[in-house]
A = this chain, B = another copy of it.
């Protein structure tokens, strides 16, 4: 088992791309090698088996999905009102939709977790933490809306992103924008 951490990370990035592009069906060691631009057989030297690869990819996606602290700080500038929440939601939906590969890979991993207890054990606390962090962040930053409101927003926004990424013509871009606005409008109190 090789120890080059930079290369391992590159392979995991490649694995995420492959997951998104080819699906769990296409995630093979050789496909990862090709995507990462390394010689065939390399991934075999870095991961014991498919399960190992998937599990590590699972923890890795989140490191790419979370925004850098700077962006987060900047997004909080100005008054903490409903308008700000709307702005944040647009930002989140935009950011996640933009990292298409990451989000799609995460969906693939969720489905794969259905049959792999090891993967499920990795993803569950990670996502649980994500939800909690979202709520905590929202509450502690003094934005309007309670924990329930934030959670409901989380649910709605996630599915909206799924729709946009998988069947973009079900809700057009304009309609998607409007749904974000309506969701905030109805779930977040106007101070």
| A residues whose Cβ falls under 8 Å from a Cβ of B | 21-25, 104, 107-108, 110-115, 120, 123-124, 127-128, 131, 148-149, 151-152, 154-160, 162-163, 165-167, 169-170, 179, 182-183, 186-187
Q: Known pairs A25-B25, A110-B162; list 17 more (Cβ under 8 Å).
A: A21-B115, A22-B115, A23-B112, A23-B115, A104-B114, A113-B166, A114-B165, A114-B166, A128-B169, A148-B182, A151-B179, A151-B182, A152-B156, A155-B156, A158-B162, A162-B162, A186-B187
Dominant secondary structure of chain A at its interface with chain B: helix
Q: Which residues of B contact A187 (CB under 8 A)?
A: 186-187
Q: Which residues of B contact A162 (CB under 8 A)?
A: 110, 158-159, 162
Q: Once the chains are docked, how many angstroms separate the CA of A152 from the CA of B5?
A: 44
Distance (whole angstroms) from the CB of A99 to the closest CB of chain B: 15
A111 close to B107 (CB less than 8 A): yes
Question: Given A24-B25, A25-B24, A124-B170, do A152 and B111 touch, yes or no (CB 8 Å)?
Answer: no
Q: Once the chains are docked, how many angstroms separate the CA of A135 from the CA of B191?
A: 30
Q: Which residues of B contact A163 (CB under 8 A)?
A: 155
Q: Once the chains are docked, how many angstroms separate the CA of A75 from the CA of B107?
A: 33
B160 close to A155 (CB less than 8 A): yes
